[in-house]
Amino acid sequence: VKRLASRIRRHPNDTIVAPATAPGRGSIAVIRISGPDTFRILDQAFGPARPSRQPSHTVRLYALPGSRGRLLDQVMLAVFRAPRSYTGEHMAEISCHGGTVAPARIVARLGSLGCRPARPGEFTRRAVLAGKLTLSQAEALPDLIAADSPAAFDAAFARYQGGLDRFARRLAGSLTDLLADLEHAINFDEDAPPPRIARAVSRTAAALRHELRRARQNRYLHQGVRVAIVGRPNVGKSSLFNRLVGSARAIASPLPHTTRDRVEATVMLGSIPVRLTDTAGLVAGPRRGIGRLADAQTRRAVEDADLLLALFDASGRFGPHDRAVTAATEGRATVTVLNKWDIRDPKAWPAAARVLRSTFGIRHPASNRAFAISCHTGAGIARLEREVRRLVAPVSGDAVASGERQLTALQACLEALERSRSAPTCETAALEIRSAVDMLTQIDPRFPADNVLDRIFSRFCVGK
Ligand SMILES: Nc1nc2c(ncn2[C@@H]2O[C@H](COP(=O)(O)OP(=O)(O)OP(=O)(O)O)[C@@H](O)[C@H]2O)c(=O)[nH]1
Ligand SMILES: [Mg+2]
């Protein structure tokens, strides 16, 4: 009852109006109106023509009279009766002449007859409250509209079509089955979760981890990806930066500590905008003065980056400063790069790839191959670029999530599953799995809280 009451209270009953097309010159502009008084207001606005008699889901041509007998504009009117409309309410769309005058006049006229100007995203907000769209579907809309490449559009459209709802439902279903299984084990007084359940949890966690990776990568389509080049002083970071950017943007010199500030440039890798950062060299041990400031900048760049290029010098031996680099990149998505391959020291680097891993125990989730390059001759640069491209490329097929809210919930779900894997007893494992299911249901709550709705719809345009 409480839920119902809050739903009724929140269910708006005023009638809203807004232009749905971008302002400026265009052949037509569309004005939307939604709410219980839609047809009363239209009848008053359109005079004897009486749009309330127009059948639902039809379009008619009207001359729209103004207040003093003059015509405001000639328009097409599409009407939609509740509940078969975008918002679930009575709705109409007026297509008038584009530009600034006609739409403003019509909105003002409808306003004078009792409509309120809609807030950003308010039509979609009503659609969500009426159960026409889930929150996740609604959240895909701004990305759909802002997409500036076909790949970005397709990814957002897949989300708009409800990919996440299906994924979350499937996942919640299999976790609920697991819970039943666990409760059965509890009844039989088993201490630790039986191996078959542990295996099933691992499988589910792996599927979720895979999906999260896809989702993060699809996010790059909209937001771009941040790639930072790190390495000890003088390994050729600025030289690589210039190679990748295609011009001498950063100063490269034989002296160590040439670069102090972060230097940034954006390059396109396929359909993905890449924000590339050149950093000051990392060294082992404490630093003073400008060095310390430079070091702080570099560490911030490392933290901000989605992908790191860890650069080493193949012409010399791996030293303590390199160890500072491997420490900084440990556990991060990193591509290992051996530069100065043209003057490499075969004694120091017998083979590029596996050496770093086996000798120094570097483990990077993104790539376990090392790339030999020369910024002087250009050798290996194209291969390195291909690898970066591969790592940040959008995943084909419809990745299901990519809003911050969904990613956070899926990540929390994954963490609960991981905790349940190491749970000592059936009871604690069951507790964690139950909280994992809760995280999934939070993604698309049937009755979203007002502050969640406010945050989401503040990103929308008026009229959407
Ligand atoms: N032989 C050879 N020299 C290189 C290569 N790449 C860079 N260098 C040289 O190495 C020196 C250092 O290059 P930078 O690009 O300034 O190195 P950095 O890592 O940015 O150095 P800091 O900013 O001081 O940390 C320069 O003299 C470059 O010309 C390469 O592939 N082969
Ligand atoms: Mg430099």
The pLDDT profile of the chain, 464 residues, written as one tens digit per residue, is 555 555 554 555 799 999 999 888 889 999 999 999 999 999 999 988 899 999 999 999 999 998 777 899 999 999 999 999 999 999 999 999 999 999 999 999 999 999 999 999 999 999 999 999 999 899 999 888 888 778 788 888 888 988 888 888 899 999 999 999 888 888 877 677 788 888 999 999 999 998 888 887 777 877 788 999 999 999 999 999 999 999 888 889 998 899 988 899 988 887 778 899 999 999 998 888 888 999 999 999 999 998 999 999 989 888 889 889 988 988 888 898 999 999 988 777 654 445 455 444 445 555 556 788 999 999 999 999 998 988 887 666 566 667 778 888 999 999 999 999 888 888 899 999 999 999 998 888 877 888 888 888 888 888 88
- Return d(Cα 212, Cα 418) in angstroms, integer: 14
User: Which ligand 1 atom is the nearest neighbour of the CA of 252?
Assistant: 16
Q: What does pTM read for this prediction?
A: 0.68
Residue-level pLDDT at 419: 93
Q: What are phi and psi of 67, to 5 degrees?
A: -80, -30
Looking at the CA of 376, which ligand is closest?
1
- Return d(Cα 313, Cα 309) in angstroms, integer: 13
Which tokens hold the place of 439? 């995280």
Report the interhelical angle of 320-329 vs 289-304 (nearest 10°).
40
**Ligand 1 lined by 236 (C-beta under 6 Å):** yes
> Rounded to a whole number, what is the largest CA-CA distance in the chain?
93
- CA 41 from centre of chain: 40
Residue-level pLDDT at 357: 53
Looking at the CA of 338, which ligand is closest?
1
Segment (H or E) for 93: strand 91-97
For tokens 């509209």, name the residue: 145
- Return d(Cα 90, Cα 101) in angstroms, integer: 26
Q: Give, for ligand 1, the residue of 230, 239, 245 to mutate: max count of ligand atoms closer than 8 Å to Cβ.
A: 239
**Ligand 1 lined by 235 (C-beta under 6 Å):** yes
Residue-level pLDDT at 45: 94
**Ligand 1 lined by 137 (C-beta under 6 Å):** no
Q: How far apart are the CA of 320 and the centre of ligand 1, in A?
A: 18
Q: Within 13 Å, how many C-alpha atoms sit on residue 462's CB side?
A: 14
Report CA torsion sign: 263, 269, 274, 279.
Answer: negative
**Ligand 1 lined by 257 (C-beta under 6 Å):** yes
Q: How far apart are the CA of 279 and the centre of ligand 2, in A?
A: 7
Q: How far apart are the CA of 325 and the centre of ligand 2, in A?
A: 15
